[in-house]
Structure 1
Amino acid sequence: MTTAVIVVAAGNGTRLGLGPKAFVTVAGRSLLELTLERVNRVRGDVEVVVVAPASHLGEAQRLASGARVVPGGATRQQSVAAGLRALGPDVQRVLVHDAARALTPTALFDAVADAVAVSNAGVIPALAVADTIKRIDADGTVLGTVDRSELAAVQTPQGFPRDQLDLAYSAVEADHTDDAAVFAASGRTVIVIPGDPLAFKVTTPDDLARAEQQLARSEPHVPAVRTGIGIDVHAFGGDAELRLAGLSWPGEQGLAGHSDGDAVAHAICDALLSAAGLGDIGSRFGTDDPRYAGAAGEVFLTGTVALLAEAGFAPSNVSVQLVAQRPRFSARRIEAEAALSALVGAPVSIAATTSDGLGFTGRSEGVAAIATALIRTI
């Protein structure tokens, strides 16, 4: 029996806030790549279709070598319909899987496929609900307790006989949150088999951190530490006194910039964000945001450390190389290291040098800072 796996990877990941979710990286690999590693080990004759955002079709095709890649729709339901249309005529059963459930074991795919073959019904994996569930009204008042023995937390892959799923999708009118609902709405039977805790969905930064931690435990080649590099440059010319390496420098001309121009602090932020795969200081604290106009470097450092914590990381140490003719840094190096270490929550070391009169730093037109950060999973 030929099985197809439709990998739904077209979501925009709004709650995660890092772009299309399937292409967010965990331990150096995207969620889509991790998903396909597991899908490609499914037993038997398997056809794989990846439904991706139109903006990422090329990247999806690179990751899904040997699979068919098609553009998704505006909703999940439309994306699954696009995947169904791309299937070959020999497919007899279909598994639909969310790329955001990237650690789902291959054994669960096989179990769902087997259950479809035996039952000729829709099959969904699910976990029992452990928490007490309350019904509440719009004001937050508790209306009653729900019998949790009748509840289950549904996962993917969800499996179906191909001919029945085609008919269900051709008849559906309302939008549903999963394929089992589409199948059931057409009057067809859906049964439940045991799910797997590893089939959790990455939706928030906490989920991303959980995936990173799980990979670090289960796959020895996944490092528990990560590194990043950040570079920042600012020209002299600010109206206020100089702010550099978290310190004020009375009598020194300030650095030009949307904020206080603290190149050392900004380079540290970029290094930390880079290590965590969270973008850069420009994308996280944009110059078009009036809240950061004239902001001190400590604002960006504390904000960056908070972003790392949300993603399941903490700084281990940071090393900075400052390149500048002025100010004379050596006398205050220890003071600067102490101030920055307190803000970062990890040791920060700084080395300073000149460029022997060469370039814009040598002409005292500005300063440059290069930072290297080491972070760890928490």
Structure 2
Amino acid sequence: MSVAVIVVAAGSGERLGAGMPKAFARLASWSVLDHALVRVPPDADLVVVAPASHLEQARVTVALHQEIRPSPSAIVVAGGGTRQQSVAAGLAALGDEVDVVLVHDAARALAPIEVFERVVEAVRTTGEGVIPVLPVTDTVKRVHDGVVVATVDRADLVAVQTPQGFPRAALEAAYAAATVDHTDDAALFAAAGHSVATVPGDPRGFKITTPDDLHRAAQLLGPEWAVAHGRGGVGYDVHAYDPEVRLRLGGLDWPGEPGLSGHSDGDAVIHAIVDALLSAAGLGDIGSQFGTDRPEFAGAASAVFLERALSLVAESGWQVANVAVQIVGAHPKIGPRRQELEEHLSALVGAPVAVGATTSDRLGFTGDRGLGAIATVLLAAAP
């Protein structure tokens, strides 16, 4: 039997509050949809159902997926006004050879491939619908007008996940006969008179709905994911104090503080970040890209270097996962403006930037003559 997976990514994601459909929200430098697609069995055809407003973005995501872990076929179609209409659009796009259909929510982005495999095997064995489930462990109460009216026996209750699997012909017939909206495909399938079996689900298959869910997903991915999919780099820069120029540090002005001498604006923090970005991506260092032999960079704002470095990193197939910067110098005092500095740098980089600061106890160059900055960068492979 040929298998196809319909990935439903057409939800608005209002409760996530990301300002975009939740399938396109960022999760550990990838989109939620990217994470969902890499867990689809590679031998299954793929249909992604996306909002009409994000069709092009979905096509780019699927095209990148096909380069990394290609499915036999992969297409993107526009979703409808309801989830049921979106799944129907996905069904209409299936190739003639498909016999088994899995319907999966992109929001369950971390559902492991083993769940897909269990569902497919059970559909082939039973010839009926199959859903992955988890036992309900919390006590369940029935409530009316804010008052508990009964305790529900949880012995026969399960929490339902996706992917949900079905024989294609039976699912298409059930969709054609449906006259009301159902909460999931299994309910629609059962309403048409078919049986639905269960297989064990997985806790990682939870649905990303709120910001807390997105944070939980990032924690589950953990540092192992970043290490497996990323590269690190270190950058260092130092400049002497120059009281005749204004201080530009981390892309911010620091009135009343002595500036830093340099070929450009002397922003040691951004220079260190640029050096780390180039190092991590294997693109040399700041001197080879923006050296003092380049007159066009004389007096330039260091944000220009950062923008160019980020572009080079992206062209090389990498995305910034996070940045950490340690500033070493007697002044300025970083603490009072640390949050402002972190927020500004994070906006420039497009990823979280953490800033630390220390002195060298008046020892050496950074004791009183100048300021140094050390940056570390983690890049993640672009999906």
TM-score interval, normalised by the smaller of the two chains: 0.5 to 0.7
What does 1:215-364 align with in structure 2 at a 5 Å threshold? 215-216=221-222, 218-219=224-225, 220-221=227-228, 333-334=332-333, 337-341=334-338, 349=357
Per-residue CA deviation, residues 18-70 of structure 1 (Å, 9 max, x unaligned), is 1111111212111211111111435xxx2211101112212212222440110
3-state secondary structure, aligned to 2:16: coil
Taking a change above 3 Å as real, the CA distance of residues 23 and 145 of structure 1, as seen in their structure-2 partners, is same
Residue 73 (structure 1) aligns with: 80
Distance in 2 of aligned mates of 1:317 and 1:33: 25
Taking a change above 3 Å as real, the CA distance of residues 40 and 115 of structure 1, as seen in their structure-2 partners, is closer
Deviation at 1:215, TM superposition (A): 1.5
Q: Does 1:112 align with 2:119?
A: yes
Distance in 1 of aligned mates of 2:252 and 2:148: 56
Query: Does the 8 Å contact 2:41/2:116 carry over to 1?
Result: no
Deviation at 1:88, TM superposition (A): 1.3
Per-residue CA deviation, residues 137-158 of structure 1 (Å, 9 max, x unaligned), is 12x2111111111111100000
Residue 93 (structure 2) aligns with: 86
Taking a change above 3 Å as real, the CA distance of residues 373 and 178 of structure 1, as seen in their structure-2 partners, is farther
Distance in 2 of aligned mates of 1:131 and 1:373: 43
Deviation at 1:120, TM superposition (A): 1.0
Deviation at 1:97, TM superposition (A): 0.4
Distance in 2 of aligned mates of 1:211 and 1:143: 35
TM-score between the two structures when normalised by the length of structure 1: 0.61
Taking a change above 3 Å as real, the CA distance of residues 89 and 17 of structure 1, as seen in their structure-2 partners, is same
Query: Does the 8 Å contact 1:216/1:223 carry over to 2?
Result: no
Taking a change above 3 Å as real, the CA distance of residues 69 and 226 of structure 1, as seen in their structure-2 partners, is farther
- Select the residue among 46, 49, 68 that pairs with 1:48: 46
Per-residue CA deviation, residues 295-325 of structure 1 (Å, 9 max, x unaligned), is xxxxxxxxxxxxxxxxxxxx996679xxxxx
Taking a change above 3 Å as real, the CA distance of residues 60 and 226 of structure 1, as seen in their structure-2 partners, is farther
Q: Does 1:23 align with 2:8?
A: no
Query: Does the 8 Å contact 1:180/1:190 carry over to 2?
Result: yes
Distance in 1 of aligned mates of 2:151 and 2:377: 47
Query: Does the 8 Å contact 2:50/2:78 carry over to 1?
Result: yes
Taking a change above 3 Å as real, the CA distance of residues 3 and 350 of structure 1, as seen in their structure-2 partners, is same
Deviation at 1:348, TM superposition (A): 5.1
Query: Does the 8 Å contact 2:41/2:117 carry over to 1?
Result: no
Distance in 2 of aligned mates of 1:160 and 1:60: 25
What does 1:111-260 align with in structure 2 at a 5 Å threshold? 111-138=118-145, 140-216=146-222, 218-219=224-225, 220-221=227-228
Per-residue CA deviation, residues 250-308 of structure 1 (Å, 9 max, x unaligned), is xxxxxxxxxxxxxxxxx9xxxxxxxxxxxxxxxxxxxxxxxxxxxxxxxxxxxxxxxxx
Taking a change above 3 Å as real, the CA distance of residues 214 and 158 of structure 1, as seen in their structure-2 partners, is same
Deviation at 1:113, TM superposition (A): 0.7
Unaligned runs of 5+ in 2: 67-72, 235-248, 257-269, 271-321, 343-353, 360-374, 379-383
CA RMSD of aligned residues (A): 3.7
Taking a change above 3 Å as real, the CA distance of residues 38 and 3 of structure 1, as seen in their structure-2 partners, is same
Q: Which amino acid aligns with 1:128?
A: P
Deviation at 1:123, TM superposition (A): 0.4
Distance in 2 of aligned mates of 1:121 and 1:215: 33
Query: Does the 8 Å contact 1:95/1:158 carry over to 2?
Result: yes
Taking a change above 3 Å as real, the CA distance of residues 226 and 150 of structure 1, as seen in their structure-2 partners, is farther
Q: Which amino acid aligns with 1:124?
A: I
Distance in 2 of aligned mates of 1:6 and 1:30: 18
Per-residue CA deviation, residues 232-266 of structure 1 (Å, 9 max, x unaligned), is 779xxxxxxxxx89xxx9xxxxxxxxxxxxxxxxx
Distance in 1 of aligned mates of 2:209 and 2:104: 15
Distance in 2 of aligned mates of 1:218 and 1:373: 17
State the percentage of identical aligned residues. 49
Q: Which amino acid aligns with 2:335?
A: A
Residue 281 (structure 2) aligns with: none
Taking a change above 3 Å as real, the CA distance of residues 349 and 112 of structure 1, as seen in their structure-2 partners, is same
3-state secondary structure, aligned to 2:103: strand
Taking a change above 3 Å as real, the CA distance of residues 93 and 17 of structure 1, as seen in their structure-2 partners, is same
Distance in 1 of aligned mates of 2:16 and 2:175: 29
Distance in 1 of aligned mates of 2:339 and 2:25: 30
